[in-house]
Amino acid sequence: MIEIKSFIFSPFAENTYVLYDETKEAIIIDPGCHLAEERETLRHFIESNGLKVVKLLNTHCHIDHVFGNQFVKSTFEVPLLIHPKDLPTLKACQLAAELYQLKPFEPSEPDAWLAEGELIRFGLSTLEVIFVPGHAPGHVAFVSRPQKFTISGDVLFRESIGRTDFPGCNHQDLIESIQKKMFALDDDFRVYSGHGPTTTIGHEKRFNPFLN
């Protein structure tokens, strides 16, 4: 049984997720912890719950989702997995850090690639990777079919959708990713977004003003 713990980090109010199960093995998705206090909050949660972090995953590599990548990699000695099409997004973070004046920023390197349909294993648990480009060229979401949830980054928000006015974004791709991939999930799937509250697929099918 996967437990989901979320944190809201950085001036971007980004949702960072820790997923773990009864074996205490854990994965961290999109560590947006920028300040030292935020990193300490994350580390304290892991240590005080006796968790063993085994992987670091990014749904996509916009700066607010990767602030803590290098911290997590070196603190817990885990590999970073991203989709190869988001490597340019990860590389652009250095420049974004200068533009937003969000220094210091430690660059991070991926250790392995994610692919659609791949299964991510930790403890007794499995997540499936789905490819949902548009907000970023290599954006993925992680799906638990038995527990009916998705950790979906900045694709779909409660009654909103991801921005597509950044370099590398494509609005049509985003709409297709939502209509064909996200909305293929059952209505009662819970959606854990990169910003804001959780929602469900059914709620967004009915009430999302950007998709009707």
Give min distance, CB of 51 to Zn ion, in A: 26
Instruction: Give the one residue of 154, 155, 168, 208 binding Zn ion; rule: CB under 5 A.
Output: 154
**Minimal distance in Å, beta carbon 134 to Zn ion?**
11
- Nearest 5°: phi and psi at 125? -110, 155
Report in angstroms how near the CB of residue 47 gets to Zn ion at its nearest.
29
Can residue 86 be called a binding residue for Zn ion (CB under 5 A)? Answer: no
Give residue number: closest CB to Zn ion.
62
Return the number of the residue (10 or 125) whose C-beta is nearest Zn ion. Answer: 10
State the minimum distance, in angstroms, from the CB of residue 186 to Zn ion. 25
Element (H, E) at 29: strand 25-29
16-50: buried (b, 16+ CB within 10 Å) or exposed (e) per residue? bbbbbeeeebbbbbbbbbbeeebbeebbeebeeee
The distance of Cα 94 from the centroid of its chain, to the nearest Å, equals 19
Please count the residues of this chain forming the interface with Zn ion, following the rule CB under 5 A: 2
DSSP-derived pairing of the beta strands 119-122 and 149-153: unpaired
CB 208 within 8 A of CB 193: no
- Segment 125 to 144, residues that bind Zn ion, using CB under 5 A: none
With CB under 5 A as the contact rule, the residue among 55, 62, 181, 195 that binds Zn ion is: 62
Positions touching Zn ion (CB under 5 A) are 62, 154
